[in-house]
Structure 1
């Protein structure tokens, strides 16, 4: 299946597909107008990288990595912000192809670290990232401000 998948940088026209993926991932409907504004701003930023996976003309996955210069690493760190593959394509190599693109960015931009945070309930996701060479070294603590 993965041999028919093409991964390419996201473009402005991908906003609706990405919005649907993120809403599914977050299990809630986000404000589309705010989402679109943030997406277009980030799309222009050189430290934000968005990728789409297509099976012919059907969008089947998405991933993003955001880079930042962190003092405590004395260098550039990439954080995978989102990754989503539609259910019918999971386990078929799409996530691996998206990860390859994220890792190419990490190598090209000389990241010191590539990291990701995944919800505790996403055990399959944890296994996926571990198979890709990421190690579970930290806990994430969150305080929401609504």
Structure 2
């Protein structure tokens, strides 16, 4: 399970490089750093978003980004996990569950109607992970890329 020294905290500006490298690894591509930095700063400063990092005293272990919005068809506030990354060597050790638990606490305190997460079809293993964390497959998502 988790190391007693694992700490969860809000992401700050100094975490940019960690998050950038994690997202590039997740997406298997090198993203435009300047554009990434602009979006990162905008997103972490938005009070409707919650960005968290899990770390030990030596390094970052993973992070999660969570955006909320009021939706008409829910008649209330809904949250969506946008990115969720745990470094390979820390997977299966409860780090992801710690981050999800923080999201669940935030959702309860803020009266969210639901929490959603989407995973790319090429990440087949994520379906079982999300189900083990309490999510259920309830929707199909369609995308047009430009």
TM-score range, shorter chain: over 0.9
Cα distance in structure 1, aligned partners of 2:24 and 2:69: 25
Structure 1 contact 64–102 (Cα < 8 Å) conserved: no
Return 5+ residue gaps in structure 1 as ranges: none
Alignment partner, residue 82 of structure 1: 83
Return 5+ residue gaps in structure 2 as ranges: none
Cα distance in structure 1, aligned partners of 2:58 and 2:9: 12
Alignment partner, residue 123 of structure 1: 124
Aligned residue-pair number: 145
Cα distance in structure 1, aligned partners of 2:13 and 2:89: 25
Alignment partner, residue 10 of structure 1: 11
Deviation at 1:129, TM superposition (A): 1.1
For 1:22-41, what aligned pairs fall within 5 Å after superposition?
22-41=23-42
> 1:66-122 CA distances to partner (integer Å, 9 max, x unpaired)?
001101110000000000000000001111111111111111111101000011122
Deviation at 1:4, TM superposition (A): 2.8
Report SS of the residue matched to 2:79.
strand
Q: Which moved more, 1:115-124 or 1:93-102?
A: 115-124
Alignment partner, residue 68 of structure 1: 69
Tell me the TM-score normalized by structure 2: 0.95
Structure 1 contact 9–49 (Cα < 8 Å) conserved: yes
Cα distance in structure 1, aligned partners of 2:121 and 2:6: 29
Q: Which moved more, 1:126-135 or 1:7-16?
A: 126-135
Structure 1 outlier segments of 4+, above 2 Å? none
Root mean square deviation, CA, Å:
1.0
